[in-house]
Amino acid sequence: MNKERKLIIAGNWKMNKTVAEALDLVRGLKIELGNVKEVDIVVCPPFTALGEVSKAILDSNIRLGAQNMSENNVGAFTGEIAAVMLKEFSVRYVILGHSERRQYQKESDALIAKKALAVHAAALKPIVCIGETLEQREKNQTQQVLETQVHGSLAGLSKEQMSETILAYEPVWAIGTGKTATTAQAQEAHAFIRGVLVKMFDDTVARKVRIQYGGSVKPSNARELMSQADVDGALVGGASLEVRSFSDIIKGSI
Ligand code: 13P
């Protein structure tokens, strides 16, 4: 596929996989995807599997991501994980502000912006998630919601930091529901988000930023979604948990 920006396809494993299961999965992915150079491939296991997965993908084309990170560097924050701890496992990417965390952990745009700054301060790359709910879409609030989330979640980032930030557009109504946004809906939202980045940063930055689509991505719809001009990859949930489906998504997008 001829794209302006290199595709980045990440598997968000969410709260799935024991260490043994995680190793099975990445060993299979290494075999299937060993020759792929056209796409940046990322897996985001739960924290408990980062160490072993990190060793298993050493010297491979698969990069490691975490699913969350503390905005603080060290100290009395029970249950939290700091950037320096992720770096011990050669983590390169950190998913921030996933809609599940916005919903269940009540993460706000302001908190996500603090986390994004902490991720950059550690020379890691954030994957910042945004997206509207079904109710918001039905009330025609999609653009307003996305604009607010982009401004709030990326507040304070420099142009250089923004250029190294990945966005993931994940319409909440499409996550885990089997309902994918149509290619037209995805492209429209992605182009709108890029337009917000032009106003907030500048044209050069906006052209560099990769915007992933997420929400019921599977082998049968991935290629068409990623063929859209402003769709620069995918953040895959359920279909990233099996070697076959995740590798088919990646191979199908080349
Ligand atoms: P599904 O691919 O399972 O819909 O999940 C999408 C998602 O939330 C990825 O972060």
Residue 26's nearest CA partner among 49, 53, 66, 44 is: 53
pTM greater than the 0.75 cutoff: yes
Answer yes or no: 170 catalytic: yes
**pLDDT tens, N- to C-terminus, the chain (254 residues):** 899 999 999 999 999 999 999 999 999 999 999 999 999 999 999 999 999 999 999 999 999 999 999 999 999 999 999 999 999 999 999 999 999 999 999 999 999 999 999 999 999 999 999 999 999 999 999 999 999 999 999 999 999 999 999 999 999 999 999 888 899 999 999 999 999 999 999 999 999 999 999 999 999 999 999 999 999 999 999 999 999 999 999 999 99
Identify the three-state secondary structure at position 204: helix
Distant-in-sequence, close-in-space partners of 147: CB < 8 Å, separation ≥ 6? 192, 196
Q: Read off the DSSP letter of residue 58.
A: T
- Could you tell me the CA-to-CA distances from 54 to 60, 61, 75 in Å, in that order? 10, 12, 25
Q: Whose structure tokens read 């990445």?
A: 26
Identify the three-state secondary structure at position 107: coil
Q: Read off the DSSP letter of residue 61.
A: S
Which of the residues 71, 98, 100, 120 is marked catalytic? 98
The ligand 1 site (C-beta within 6 Å) comprises: 12, 98, 170, 175-176, 214-217, 235-239
Which of the residues 107, 132, 170, 190 is marked catalytic? 170
